[in-house]
Amino acid sequence: MNSNRTTRSWRLRRRPDGIINENDLELVTEEIPEITEGQILAKTIYFSLDPTNRIWMSDIDQYMEPVEIGDIMRAGGSLAIVEDSKVSHIKVGDIVQGGMHGGWQEHFIIPGEEAIAIPKEESIPLTALISVLGFTGPTAYFGFLDIGKPKKGETVVVSAAAGAVGSIVCQLAKIKGCRVVAITGNDNKCEWLKNDLKVDEVINYKKEQILDSLREKCPEGIDIYFENVGGETLDAALTLMNNYGRIPVCGLISMYNDWDAPGPKMFRNILMKRLKVEGFLVSDYLDRYSESLEALSKWMVEGKIQYKVDIVEGIENAPSAVNKLFTGENTGKLVIKVSDEP
């Protein structure tokens, strides 16, 4: 049925050296394979672009296998419409999550037993399902609440605060009655954080001296530092942590293009201040996913959580768009729109 129809996908051609170069990937056109009994053919609507795409391109010891040279680039998440189905529980036109089968590609096949049709709810846009109610909201939820263990009145510092994860952490911290100091690298993002998300203080790390600004804006020290970036920001936060402070380590984006960058100079404060520093992956919490989605949805309905999605149109733009995450040009969850929503 699909013979002679073609589909495009981005395959990894070589491992990037520093920032991703468009020639590190190759846009290939291939024939859409026929599906067999028990399979589904899905056409991508959105796929997520994530800082971890850069980690997966590197041949380093990491939390899952790197993408192999020649393989289709993995996507952190995708939403697709079913074009053909040879299973009884999924029909043409259903919307499905790509899971581990979706990637930087226009079409993909999912084994029927892994496909779950997403219930159609007019009130929940697909862009929410690939952002705050995809995996960036749950990342913020479990990292901040489970590891950060916030208490009312505590001072919380969030790095990459206007990003997909960081912006949700800021709002969760406000919901929990904390004082929030948000760090970002752009004045428009500072305005959004202050005026719309109602954080208490903002710092533009590209204009200000991070340690001086943090010292001024955290006069009672830092109780929770939600770590998204590493580098100089981590050092500044470590310097000002209070006794028994918590650091959920969600990401280290400043290092993804340069793993030789030095580690924190103030490591000693983990001892001196008896800090809890814990790395986590949202996938560690899969069995509690529904808890986070329920809570986040409720807060969204109550107007306590807002989110932004930065949509770049066209699969051909994926390699240039992913670098927006490293230059800070994205506002909110960065996604590629591959085809129109139904």
Nearer to ligand NAP among residue 35 and residue 172 (C-beta)? 172
Given a contact cutoff of 8 angstroms between Cβ atoms, the answer to whether 233 and 203 are in contact is no
Nearer to ligand NAP among residue 2 and residue 239 (C-beta)? 239
Work out how close the CB of 323 gets to ligand NAP at its nearest, in angstroms, rounded to a whole number: 10
113 burial via Cβ count (<10 Å: 0-12, 13-18, 19+): exposed
Torsion over CA of 102, 104, 108 and 114, rounded to 10 degrees? 0
Work out how close the CB of 257 gets to ligand NAP at its nearest, in angstroms, rounded to a whole number: 8
Work out how close the CB of 168 gets to ligand NAP at its nearest, in angstroms, rounded to a whole number: 8
Nearer to ligand NAP among residue 82 and residue 165 (C-beta)? 165
- Token pair for residue 182? 């948000």
Secondary structure (3-state) at 148: helix
Nearer to ligand NAP among residue 32 and residue 224 (C-beta)? 224
Work out how close the CB of 330 gets to ligand NAP at its nearest, in angstroms, rounded to a whole number: 5
- Token pair for residue 240? 């000002």
Nearer to ligand NAP among residue 74 and residue 273 (C-beta)? 74
Residues 6+ apart with CB under 8 A from 278: 147, 246, 247, 248, 249
Q: What single letter denotes the amino acid at residue 243?
A: N
Work out how close the CB of 282 gets to ligand NAP at its nearest, in angstroms, rounded to a whole number: 4
d(CA 242, CA 206): 25
Task: Give residues in contact with ligand NAP (CB under 6 A).
Answer: 50-52, 136, 139, 160, 162-166, 184-186, 189, 228-229, 250-251, 253-254, 280-282, 325-326, 328, 330
Nearer to ligand NAP among residue 42 and residue 168 (C-beta)? 168
Work out how close the CB of 261 gets to ligand NAP at its nearest, in angstroms, rounded to a whole number: 9
d(CA 215, CA 316): 44
